[in-house]
Structures are given as C-alpha cells and as structure tokens.
Amino acid sequence: MQQVSAYLETKQQIVDPRQSESLIFRRVTDQLKDVVEAERRDEMYHRAVLDNRRLWTALAADVSDPSNMLPDELKSNLLSLAIWVERESGAAHSGGADIRSMIEINEAIIAGLNARQ
C-alpha cells in the first residue's frame, strides 16, 4: 500500500504527471536492481517484488479510470503488462521467475515517459 500512496502523493506534488510516474518507476526499479545485484532472496527481495506489483496495480487502476485520457491502445497495452507483472510477481515470490524481465519492462516504461517530456 505504501507504493500506491507514494504514487498518488507524488502524482499530486509534481505538476508533470509523466515526471512523477518516471520517478516512481525509477525508485521501484532501483529496488529490484539492488536485490538482483546483491543476489538476495530475503525480505528485501520480496519487498521489492511486492512494491513493483503494487505500482503496477496502481497504474492499472489509473488507466482503467474513465477520465484517463491516454489512447485506448496504450491503455490496453499497459493493462496487459500489469496482468503480466501480477503473474510474474507471484512466480518470483515462489522462486519461479527471474525479476530481470520486470526490470526491463520498467526501464522501457521509464524511457517512454522521459521521451514524451
């Protein structure tokens, strides 16, 4: 829930929504990278995966909102990614997934957000 709150708080504090979303994705992605680099599978690992899952859940809720002005195709693609992240997160918690793929997806989202600024 902390990541959702941070997502919403940052979204309100910064005028440019893309910038706030990029910062949030960067923070969560850095957490994921830290656990990969440290080869950790402890509480820090599970927290990073959970925070990423929560971020994508918040993003899915945001793009599902009828007032969201993103193009329908982009909303659909983001929702598909959110579903994928949900599945991968569950697999990561049980040891059946490599979180590097989630890092790559997040970095692509960050690049897209930064390119549109």
What average pLDDT does the segment 68-80 reach? Answer: 96
Which of 46, 55, 64 lies closest to 5, judged by CA? 55
Determine the structural domain holding residue 31 and report its residue range: 2-115
Tokens matching residue 68: 């969201």
Token pair of 64 as six digits: 């599902």
**Sign of the alpha-carbon torsion through 53, 55, 58, 60:** negative
User: What is the pLDDT of the chain when averaged over all its residues?
Assistant: 89
What is the C-alpha separation between 4 and 95, in angstroms, rounded? 25
Specify the number of domains making up the chain: 1
Burial 22-51 (b: 16+ CB within 10 A, else e): bbbbbebbebbbebbeeeeeeeebeebbbb
Q: Model pTM?
A: 0.83
Question: What is the structure's pLDDT at 93?
Answer: 87
With beta carbons less than 8 A apart as the criterion, state whether 42 and 56 touch.
Answer: no
